[in-house]
Amino acid sequence: MFRPRIPVNPSPTHLVPGLVEPTAITPAHDRPSSQCACTHVGPVAPLPSRSPGSPIRLTGTGLACAVAGGTAVVLVVGAVLVSMLLAVAITGVSVAVCAVVLRSLLSTSRNQH
């Protein structure tokens, strides 16, 4: 569980081989490989690839996580949009109040002259 797994880059055929488990470094051999008494780790078999048309099957937990994640995204996006709309509304009201104050100041200055 605590051993790191190093991902392998996909090949040009877009088939992703399995993950490579790090192994201990072994010293070089002085004799030919046919006389070697060591146990070597062979190549890693690729993971079975999913065809593009096959459906994804979710377990109950996976479905619950997907629904919870989607709900969280909708709530966050909704909160951001509502706050932006509120900011625009507050800005519009403040501009309208400034326009009314300026209009009244200008009209009173014209009436005094």
Interval 19-75: pLDDT, tens: 555 565 555 555 555 556 666 666 666 666 666 666 777 788 888 999 999 999 999
Are the C-beta atoms of residues 23 and 41 closer than 8 Å to each other?
yes
- Residue 79's pLDDT band (cuts 50, 70, 90): very high
Token pair in block for residue 37: 């008494």
Ranked by mean pLDDT, the top range of 34-38, 79-83, 104-108 is 79-83
Residues 26 and 35: their CA atoms lie apart, in Å, by 16
Q: Is the pLDDT of residue 78 over 90?
A: yes
Token pair in block for residue 73: 């995204």
Are the C-beta atoms of residues 47 and 16 closer than 8 Å to each other?
yes
pTM for the whole structure: 0.42
